[in-house]
Amino acid sequence: MKSKVALVTGGNRGIGFEVCRQLGALGYTVLVGARDIDLGKKAAAELTAQGMTAEAAELDVSDQEQIDKLATSLHSRFGQIDVLVNNAAIFLDPMPAADGLGDRSVFKAKASNIVKTFATNTLGPLQLCQAFVPAMIKNNYGRVVNVSSGDGQLSDMNGGRPAYRLSKVSLNALTRIFADELKGKNVLINSVCPGWVKTRMGGTAAKREVSKGAETIVWAATLPNLSRTNISKGFLGRLSHCLFCTGSISPPWKDSARFRIGFAHMVPPSTPSKPTKNFVG
Ligand SMILES: NC(=O)c1ccc[n+]([C@@H]2O[C@H](COP(=O)([O-])OP(=O)(O)OC[C@H]3O[C@@H](n4cnc5c(N)ncnc54)[C@H](OP(=O)(O)O)[C@@H]3O)[C@@H](O)[C@H]2O)c1
């Protein structure tokens, strides 16, 4: 059987690289998206050395031309991309002051930082979905995971980090907009928060290892097809596609990584799952 093909943006390091590794271990052909192709090749070579099928794909997610070029070339080689993980992101908000938010306060937020962050963290995923989801619809299969953050959860919104927060709250909205337009199709799109993870962005004080941070992303990237049986056993027992309660739920089998659901799917049939709080998108 032909293996499924997954494109992971920002796959050369951090959580993205671990998502590539976990998908590769599951037998996916992994395209390691990297804006620096040499770093992408190095990461892909590491996976290949571990027996996985991986190659680098040059991709700056803030570059529309590069997205279009890559989509054309990948579609002609593979027909379609089965899984898209919008993982690449930047964090440009300044460090807080010792005695408070300092330049990280919304009162000090620079429009240029917000725009730049938005271009990578929000418009990148939008343009990637526009480039890859139509072929998924045509092929009646697709899984899209937008790697978001608790910082983008409206019901938990606090001060500080305005550029990052605004980009991720918009990413969550984007997930729901796509989800609504994809209703009834076998293309599932979800937003996932990996938790606070030890990476260059998360820093060394973070609590989670990358393996844990990647786990729920991989879970959402590999959701099985919706079927009547699965749906009836699914989240909230709903029978339709629309799950816009968009709960922030703690799946007990995933060590409490939070994820947000933008589209109907089922949980593993034997696994109970309940929303722990409402999410005001
Ligand atoms: N770590 C955490 O605690 C945490 C918490 C919540 C959410 N997240 C989310 O998890 C995801 C991964 O974060 P991480 O911690 O692994 O971050 P990271 O270690 O900083 O890695 C970010 C990745 O994104 C890539 N990237 C940045 N801008 C790009 C662009 N314009 N085009 C293509 N690639 C680009 C980077 O490439 P280069 O190597 O070229 O810079 C790198 O591969 C992000 O969406 C982040 O917001 C992380």
Q: Residues 33-74: pLDDT tens digits? A: 999 999 999 999 999 999 999 999 999 999 999 999 999 999
CA of 88 to the centre of ligand 1 (A): 4
Please name the residue whose Cα sits nearest to atom 47 of ligand 1: 89
Structure tokens at 143: 């899984």
Please name the residue whose Cα sits nearest to atom 46 of ligand 1: 89
Phi, psi of 261 (to 5 degrees): -105, 125
Report percent pLDDT > 90 for the chain.
Answer: 73
CA of 258 to the centre of ligand 1 (A): 18
Rounded to whole angstroms, the maximal C-alpha distance in the chain is 59
Cβ of 39 closer than 6 Å to ligand 1, yes or no, is yes
pTM for this prediction: 0.88
Judge whether residue 269 has pLDDT over 70: no
Please name the residue whose Cα sits nearest to atom 44 of ligand 1: 89
Cβ of 88 closer than 6 Å to ligand 1, yes or no, is yes
> What is the distance in angstroms between the CA of the first residue and the CA of the last residue of the chain?
40
Atom of ligand 1 nearest to the CA of 164: 47
Residue 106 vs residues 89, 93, 112, 150, 252: alpha-carbon distances, Å: 20, 10, 13, 18, 35
User: Hey, what CATH class is 5-226 in?
Assistant: alpha beta
3-state class (DSSP) for residue 207: coil
Structure tokens at 203: 């820093």
Cβ of 47 closer than 6 Å to ligand 1, yes or no, is no
Handedness of CA 229, 235, 237, 243 (dihedral sign): negative
In what helix (H) or strand (E) does residue 137 lie, and over which residues does it extend? helix 124-139
Taking the mean position of all CA atoms in its chain, how far away is CA 14? 13
Neighbouring CB atoms inside 10 A of 248's CB total: 18
pLDDT tens digits, one per residue of 184-233: 999 999 999 999 999 999 999 998 999 999 999 999 999 998 765 444 44
Our mutation pick for probing the ligand 1 site, out of 15, 42, 91, 200, counting the most ligand atoms within 8 A of Cβ, is: 15
| Ranges of each domain in the chain | 5-226
Query: How many angstroms separate the CA atoms of 262 and 156, rounded?
Result: 18
Our mutation pick for probing the ligand 1 site, out of 13, 170, 258, counting the most ligand atoms within 8 A of Cβ, is: 13
Q: Collect all residues with Cβ–Cβ distance below 8 Å to 177 and sequence separation of at least 6.
A: none
